[in-house]
A and B are shown apart, each in its own frame.
Chain A
Amino acid sequence: MSKTFEVAKYEYTHHVARPRFWIALLSVPVGIVLVTLFAVAVSLSSMSKLPVGYVDEAKLITIPFTAPEKPSLFEPVIPMIPFSSEEEARASAERGEIQAYFVIPEGYESTFQIKYSFNEPLTSTIRGQIRSLLSQNLLAGMDIPNQARLEAGSLYTLVSLDGTRSTGENEISKILVPLVVGLLFVIVVISSGGYLLQAVVEEKENRTIEIMVTSVSPNELMAGKIIGNLSVGLTQILFWVLLAAVFVLALGERIPFLRDLQISWPNLLLSLLLLLPCFVFTAGLMAILGATVTDSQEAAQVTGLVTFPILIPYYFFSVLMMHPNGAFARALSYFPLSAPVAMTLRMAFTQVPIWELALVSAMLVLFSVLVIWLAGKAFRMGMLQYSRRIKLSQLFKKGGAQ
């Protein structure tokens, strides 16, 4: 066990000390920040920040518009200026002092209609501000508990008759969370699995294998390598999650999507539980490939054999969304490589039965154990065949490893 730990420690420190680890670690958050900043910049530059005027003919507005304490980063707060008459407001608009004005006509309380005249079209921000201004003033003075909730309106949940499918107002966040989790998994598997593959192939290329197997058993060696590289992957995920948490805490209330985000923690936990054995399974497969190929160039070519099936659920995203309990969706969630992403997506769209989750988890654990055993065997078999490829069929022959 201690040698497994030593191998894992070496693998971990060796990879973490490499510049490419830090590039991979930082490129994701830096990329997200850059894309976000770009989106904010584009959003802000395309919107007019000129005030919007209003003419209150209904004598309804007693409380002036107040900007929210934590406005959205993407949508600037537009000042709202009262005008005594429509002519005055129009003149101001024509002088370019305001981008638009709206009139609350007399009898608004019975018609609920307002008129909007503009140089710039009505945006969702302005619409929201007008709605907020009106509702605050309409409800002013009334003793209504949870006034803010009343302003937000009803939240609908749609449930199919058989109870297996449901959807609600925050459907987008229900889909995005598993998508992001799956994407993180793919990134980690590809980067860490790539490290592992590289480590095994390098050992063949460096001719260190013979030294290694006369010091540790092939199984200890493979287990150490897998644990080491898994830890590299988990470090990446942990770093990103912590960074995301800091980001959400600092700016969450100023980003509309994050403000409304609802995370299904049980589903997230289940997804992570599926990811762990799947990572071991994938890492084991990478190790087998590493042991069976002859050099790093060939290793890079075969990586796709493992990474492509992981990505398959994304290609069939709409099928999974429309028929989360269909045969195809089920098949994808039972196949070890595509299982974590497919099952995570299915859980977002439907209520996956517990027995299915238990079955897939057990299957993944079983496959992980099998693949580690095979990786040890492949390693033992392939380690001394420096310039020859091993056929996968050889792995299953009795005693074939020696």
Chain B
Amino acid sequence: MQSIHVEHISKRFGDTQAVKDISFEVAPGEIFGLLGPNGSGKTTSIRIILDIYQPDTGSVSILGGPMNEAKKNQIGYLPEERGLYQDILVDKCLEYLATLKGMSPQQIKQKLPAYLEEFDLSAHKKKKVKELSKGMQQKAQLIATLIHDPQVIIIDEPFSSLDPVNTQLVKDILKQQRDAGKTIIMCTHQMNQVEQLCDKIVLVDKGEVLLYGGLQQIYESFATDDVRINTSMELPPAIPGVRKIERLNTMTKLEPQPGVKPQDILNTLVSQGIQLNAFEIAVPSLDEIFIKVVKKGGADDEQDL
């Protein structure tokens, strides 16, 4: 059963069509990437899921039905526009936000110290929020998102302002949450994080879905017979069966002619006595897929994979 079922939602603000006929599903135990360039309609879609906005058309089912007040306690949300009460102590701020998520004082007393410890904020709990660095505030906000053990976690750019150590910490926590069966929607521009974390993605641009499906399926659908090699030798200007040679930073990308397979190119290189340090199928990165699809500008219809 899907935790989140978004069905043909559309939303217009004045003359701007923010979201147009977007549909997707997210299952429990899944990290779902909601991707798109700035102004593509990601945040509007999230706000519709959270019932902050009502869609003009379409519907959203979350945890088995429409959003209601009781379900708010089962949702953890880290918005793009970060915000904590600046003028109060860190622990008081987190206690208050946890209370609004239905936690009792006893539950908070039990869980908050552990979270503060995990996020290395124990020493700062008696500071005012405004005295924390941006990264620390981000961690405090993540605690507010997770402390009430929500079934659905919606996080917008969770790694912004975090150093590599804390980025890894958050990634580990998100994986733990997924393994615990939580439903996670993540908005981010950091494609390397999406590649490492997401099971499924939807790519939206100008309010429309351009790409939707499992990450592995998407890679496969964008896969080509291009190969990447690394050699310490000088390559000849032309290689039989190769139509284009492109020098990258440490690698060289070879685009085969139609009908030529990577195995054929390997054989050719070996037969020419070229010593290879590395030879790999050039699977496109998510960055490349993202740019390719967005640049196409949705000229083609949505690719539902």
Report yes or no: A214 in contact with B72, Cβ–Cβ below 8 A.
yes
Tell me, in angstroms, the Cα distance from A220 to B82 when the chains sit together.
22
Q: Is B212 an interface residue (CB 8 A)?
A: no
A96 vs chain B, min Cβ distance (A): 65
Report yes or no: A10 in contact with B96, Cβ–Cβ below 8 A.
yes
* B-chain residues with CB within 8 Å of residue A384 when the two chains form the complex: 47, 52
Q: Is A259 an interface residue (CB 8 A)?
A: no
- What total count of A-B pairs have CB within 8 Å? 57
Report yes or no: B72 in contact with A210, Cβ–Cβ below 8 A.
no
Tell me, in angstroms, the Cα distance from A386 to B79 when the chains sit together.
14
B106 vs chain A, min Cβ distance (A): 15
Report yes or no: A206 in contact with B83, Cβ–Cβ below 8 A.
yes
Told that A206-B83, A210-B81, A214-B72 touch, could you supply 8 new A-B pairs with CB distance under 8 A? A206-B84, A207-B82, A210-B79, A211-B79, A211-B97, A213-B52, A215-B100, A399-B54
Within 8 A of B (CB), among A340-389: 380, 384, 386
Report yes or no: A206 in contact with B85, Cβ–Cβ below 8 A.
yes
Report yes or no: A216 in contact with B52, Cβ–Cβ below 8 A.
no
Report yes or no: A402 in contact with B53, Cβ–Cβ below 8 A.
yes
B50 vs chain A, min Cβ distance (A): 5
Interface size counted on chain B using CB atoms at 8 A: 25
Known: A206-B84, A206-B85, A384-B52. Is A212-B100 also a contact (CB below 8 A)? yes
Tell me, in angstroms, the Cα distance from A386 to B73 when the chains sit together.
25
Q: Is B101 an interface residue (CB 8 A)?
A: yes
Q: Within the complex, which residue of B47, B69, B100 is in contact with A6, where a contact is CB–CB below 8 Å?
A: B100
Tell me, in angstroms, the Cα distance from A208 to B73 when the chains sit together.
17
Within 8 A of B (CB), among A198-221: 202-203, 206-217, 220
Known: A208-B85, A209-B83, A210-B79. Is A217-B69 also a contact (CB below 8 A)? yes
B96 nearest CB neighbor, chain A only:
A10
Chain B interfacial positions (CB closer than 8 Å to A): 47, 50, 52-54, 69, 72-73, 75, 77, 79, 81-88, 96-97, 99-101, 144
* B-chain residues with CB within 8 Å of residue A215 when the two chains form the complex: 72-73, 97, 100-101
Report yes or no: B77 in contact with A210, Cβ–Cβ below 8 A.
yes
Q: Is A7 an interface residue (CB 8 A)?
A: yes
Report yes or no: B77 in contact with A211, Cβ–Cβ below 8 A.
yes
Report yes or no: B53 in contact with A207, Cβ–Cβ below 8 A.
no
Q: Within the complex, which residue of A7, A14, A202 is in contact with B100, where a contact is CB–CB below 8 Å?
A: A7
Q: Within the complex, which residue of B52, B54, B82, B88 is in contact with A214, where a contact is CB–CB below 8 Å?
A: B52
Q: Is the interface of A mostly helix, strand, loop or mixed?
A: helix
Q: Is A115 an interface residue (CB 8 A)?
A: no
Report yes or no: B97 in contact with A210, Cβ–Cβ below 8 A.
no
Q: Is A391 an interface residue (CB 8 A)?
A: no
Report yes or no: A208 in contact with B100, Cβ–Cβ below 8 A.
no
* A-chain residues with CB within 8 Å of residue B97 when the two chains form the complex: 211, 215
* A-chain residues with CB within 8 Å of residue B144 when the two chains form the complex: 211
Report yes or no: B50 in contact with A214, Cβ–Cβ below 8 A.
yes
Report yes or no: B52 in contact with A210, Cβ–Cβ below 8 A.
yes
Q: Is A3 an interface residue (CB 8 A)?
A: yes
Report yes or no: B72 in contact with A216, Cβ–Cβ below 8 A.
yes
A5 nearest CB neighbor, chain B only:
B99
Contact with B along A172-215 (1 / 0, CB 8 A): 00000000000000000000000000000011001111111111
Within 8 A of B (CB), among A1-37: 3, 6-7, 10, 14
Q: Within the complex, which residue of A6, A14, A208, A380 is in contact with B84, where a contact is CB–CB below 8 Å?
A: A208
Tell me, in angstroms, the Cα distance from A206 to B77 when the chains sit together.
16
Report yes or no: B83 in contact with A214, Cβ–Cβ below 8 A.
no
A296 vs chain B, min Cβ distance (A): 12
Known: A3-B100, A215-B101. Is A207-B83 also a contact (CB below 8 A)? yes
Tell me, in angstroms, the Cα distance from A215 to B99 when the chains sit together.
9
Q: Within the complex, which residue of A7, A210, A217, A399 is in contact with B83, where a contact is CB–CB below 8 Å?
A: A210
